[in-house]
A and B are shown apart, each in its own frame.
Chain A
Amino acid sequence: MDDRRENEPNPMNNRTTIERKSERELVVTRTFDAPARIVFEAWTKAELFMRWWAPKSAGVPLLSCEMDVRAGGRYRLEFGHDASNSMAFFGGYIEATPHSRLVWTNEEGDDAPVTTLTCEEKGGKTLLVLHELYPSKEALDEAIAGMEGGMPEQFEQLDELLLTLGASGERS
């Protein structure tokens, strides 16, 4: 099955992989065809971060984003369709080494992970590794399962509404 050869252009290189490394760790990887400096910039400048973190297909837009990227600095993201129906994610940076390493906490609940982002540049390409360490096995189980029912109900309803509106818009 695995007949990939090195030094050959391979569309699979830019594939996002995910692996549960242990009961409490999840690792996501992706290669980008750009220097680490640029990838890192897109993660750490709020105005750039906002352009990709919440893809349209995810349904819930990012309303605001504040980030003070330095050890001890804070971030805050607000998702929602309007300010009265928003959901906030926030935490702090533990480490920020330009272009290579960023470590941050989530503080919305006790079950949130500590995330480590590393960017490793090789031949003009950047391997991005996102490592999430959860406080317990249950917390990670829940984070994975939460993709299904984790969104507040009002978001789901709005999603459905938007889907309907989107679909009728396409038809006209």
Chain B
Amino acid sequence: MVQYTQTRFDASFAALSDATRRGVLEQLGRADASITDLAEKFHMTLTGMKKHVGVLERAGLVSTEKIGRVRTCKLGLRGLEEEAALIERYRQLWATRFDELDKLVEELKQKEKGDGRQKRK
């Protein structure tokens, strides 16, 4: 876990060490954008921008999603963490429910076994 955090930090710092990438983050802070948009804005080739976005994505600073032929980029970390936290809360509701269902299912199973034994007598 410590190592993971360290790696994550290194990746973040490496990602932020480049002026273009800092510019991209600033841009995405204002609005989501496609890689094509970003390439145009920063006067770069599509391939060059893809590399920069890739670095930001691996650092967890940007998330991308492909819809049709367009890959849209947005600020990553925070949004993802929030969604993960919300989904976890939803999961817990189901987990609580299913734990109750588990108890009931176990009870029904035992009852069935008992009935089966009685019939055989």
Q: Does A41 contact B (CB under 8 A)?
A: yes
Interface of B is mostly: helix
**B101:A32 contact, CB within 8 angstroms:** yes
**Given A18-B87, A18-B90, A39-B105, A51-B112 contact (CB < 8 Å):** no
**A52:B112 contact, CB within 8 angstroms:** no
Q: How distant is the Cα of A145 from the Cα of B88 in the complex, in angstroms?
A: 11
Taking a contact as CB atoms closer than 8 A, the residue among B83, B90, B93, B108 that contacts A34 in the complex is: B108
Count A-B contacts at CB 8 Å.
78
Q: Which residues of A contact B109 (CB under 8 A)?
A: 33-35, 38
Q: Which residues of B contact A52 (CB under 8 A)?
A: 97, 100-101, 103-104
Q: Which residues of B contact A130 (CB under 8 A)?
A: 94
**B93:A53 contact, CB within 8 angstroms:** no
**A38:B87 contact, CB within 8 angstroms:** no
**A32:B94 contact, CB within 8 angstroms:** no
Q: Which residues of A contact B13 (CB under 8 A)?
A: none
Q: How distant is the Cα of A51 from the Cα of B100 in the complex, in angstroms?
A: 8
Q: Which residues of B contact A32 (CB under 8 A)?
A: 98, 101-102, 105
**Given A32-B101, A32-B102, A51-B104, A147-B95 contact (CB < 8 Å):** no
Separation in Å of the A44 CB from the closest CB of chain B? Answer: 12
Q: Which residues of A contact B95 (CB under 8 A)?
A: 15-16, 30
* The 9 residue pairs across chains A and B that have the minimum distance between CB atoms: A52-B100, A16-B95, A18-B91, A52-B101, A30-B98, A34-B105, A144-B86, A55-B96, A34-B109
Q: Show 19 residue pairs from A and B whose CB-CB distance is below 8 angstroms, ordered by the A residue.
A: A15-B95, A16-B94, A16-B98, A18-B88, A18-B94, A20-B83, A20-B87, A28-B91, A32-B105, A33-B106, A38-B112, A41-B108, A52-B97, A52-B100, A52-B101, A52-B103, A53-B100, A58-B96, A143-B90
Interface residues of B (CB under 8 A from A): 83, 86-91, 93-106, 108-109, 112
Known: A39-B105, A58-B97; 10 extra A-B contacts, CB below 8 A, are A16-B95, A16-B98, A20-B83, A30-B98, A32-B101, A38-B112, A48-B104, A52-B97, A55-B96, A55-B99
